[in-house]
């Protein structure tokens, strides 16, 4: 049984875009980390469990998590690259790889990255970068040959998942993927495979399923590129067949589920009226969360350590005359906020 990791509660909302506009660099980077990382981690862990199911592998043994921005509070200098991502790269090996730098020195770590990426435009996508390092031409050639060998199977799957590749050559005309994999496309600004971009709000019913689908497919490429770098025979053909088998089975399960009368399982849900859902300006929302150190003032859980979704609560509800002043706002996790609702005027202490 696949652990959902709370995936059905994950939502990326339109107001999240305003985080990218916070003027102070350190506050902006800390907010990006605390507000996006927990949700992206839930999506990533759910997706990696699905990868394990589809390909019968344990991705946690071979992959390590990658984060951006990599802001540290006490760092002398921090950079904002205008994006947020959480994803995977290959774990660093003890032995040098069969990939060398342009100066001939072998790498001890792989060049691939596969991430869920959020941009200031309020969009989310999956991005696979096969050559984020300046790898040698021979490695690039072996990757191109692998793609060409399996293009008959791979190309329709990439098209079906709406995954495209970006390169300097493909802007003016369509270039097959294996022809776009050339030494000139090495590095962060070079070749990328990307899913469609989905505008916020994004959740499991709007864009997230498609992004997870694209990530699972691109995992097969990432694994094969790693195998080539380690001097092993890539198992891309097997992975593509496994992906097709899984997808066909999933489609059949969905058809069978649709044949069941949905009226049989209807449950009436009473959704409480939450005063904290009333409008609070985005800049003030983030300021309250930062002031309260990204911690629920009721249960003590945090966004980063515990993965809870934090909300801003009106201590004196607006329905009872409460204002939007900072001293009337406090941080609660979603669960504690539902429990408080708009009938409680409890002011909780700061951590």
Give which of 93, 81, 85 is closest to 28, Cα–Cα: 81
Write down the pTM of the prediction: 0.79
139-196 pLDDT, tens digit each: 999 999 999 999 999 988 998 899 999 864 444 446 789 998 999 888 888 899 999 9
Mean pLDDT over residues 117-145, rounded? Answer: 94
Residue 252 has pLDDT above 90, yes or no: no
User: How many Å apart are CA 282 and CA 52, to the nearest integer?
Assistant: 38
18-39 pLDDT, tens digit each: 999 988 888 889 889 998 999 9
pLDDT attached to residue 271: 37
Query: Mind giving me the DSSP string for 284-332?
Result: HHHHHHHHTTTB-TTT--BHHHH-PPEEEEESS-GGGT---SGGGEEEE
Percentage with pLDDT > 70 across the chain: 83
pLDDT attached to residue 275: 44
Residue 318 has pLDDT above 50, yes or no: yes
User: How many Å apart are CA 138 and CA 136, to the nearest integer?
Assistant: 6
Mean pLDDT over residues 256-270, rounded? Answer: 50
pLDDT attached to residue 113: 96
User: How many Å apart are CA 345 and CA 336, to the nearest integer?
Assistant: 13
User: How many Å apart are CA 75 and CA 85, to the nearest integer?
Assistant: 20
> Beta partners for 207?
203
pLDDT attached to residue 166: 82
Which residues lie closer than 8 Å to 177 by C-beta, 6 or more apart? 147, 151, 154, 155, 158, 165, 193
Residue 251 has pLDDT above 80, yes or no: no
Residue 343 has pLDDT above 60, yes or no: no
Average per-residue pLDDT for the chain: 84
Residue 274 has pLDDT above 50, yes or no: no
Domain limits of the chain? Answer: 7-249, 275-340
What's the CATH number for 7-249? 3.30.930.20
Residue 90 has pLDDT above 90, yes or no: yes
pLDDT attached to residue 350: 57
Give residue 103's pLDDT band: very low, low, confident or very high (50, 70, 90). confident
3-state secondary structure of 330: strand
Mean pLDDT over residues 117-123, rounded? Answer: 95
User: How many Å apart are CA 64 and CA 321, to the nearest integer?
Assistant: 50
């Amino acid at each position: 049984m696949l652990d959902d990791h709370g995936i059905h509660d994950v939502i990326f909302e339109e107001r999240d875009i305003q985080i990218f506009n916070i003027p102070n660099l350190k506050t902006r980077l800390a907010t990006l980390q605390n507000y996006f990382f927990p949700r992206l981690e839930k999506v990533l862990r759910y997706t990696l469990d699905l990868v394990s199911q589809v390909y019968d592998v344990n991705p946690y043994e071979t992959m390590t998590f990658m984060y951006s921005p990599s802001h540290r509070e006490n760092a002398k200098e921090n950079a904002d690259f205008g994006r947020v991502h959480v994803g995977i790269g290959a774990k660093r090996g003890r032995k040098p790889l069969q990939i060398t730098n342009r100066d001939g020195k072998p790498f001890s770590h792989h060049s691939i990255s596969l991430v869920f990426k959020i941009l200031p435009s309020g969009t989310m996508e999956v991005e696979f970068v096969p050559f984020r390092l300046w790898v040698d031409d021979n490695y690039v050639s072996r990757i191109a040959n692998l793609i060409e060998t399996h293009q008959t199977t791979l190309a329709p799957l990439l098209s079906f998942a709406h995954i495209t590749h970006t390169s300097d050559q493909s802007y003016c005309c369509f270039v097959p993927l294996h022809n776009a994999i050339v030494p000139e496309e090495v590095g962060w600004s070079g070749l990328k495979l990307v899913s469609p971009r989905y505008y916020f709000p994004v959740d499991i019913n709007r864009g997230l399923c498609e992004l997870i689908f694209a990530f699972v497919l691109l995992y097969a490429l990432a694994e094969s590129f790693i195998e080539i770098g380690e001097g092993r025979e890539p198992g891309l053909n097997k992975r593509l067949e496994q992906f097709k088998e899984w997808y066909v089975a999933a489609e059949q399960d969905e058809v069978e589920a649709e044949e069941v009368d949905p009226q049989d399982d209807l449950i009436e849900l009473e959704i409480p009226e939450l005063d904290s859902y009333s409008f609070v300006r985005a800049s003030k929302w983030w300021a309250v969360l930062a002031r309260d150190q990204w911690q629920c003032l009721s249960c003590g859980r945090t966004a980063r350590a515990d993965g809870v979704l934090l909300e801003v609560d009106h201590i004196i509800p607006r329905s009872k005359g409460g204002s939007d002043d900072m001293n009337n706002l406090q941080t609660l996790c979603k669960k504690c906020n539902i429990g408080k609702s708009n009938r409680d005027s409890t002011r909780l202490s700061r951590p």
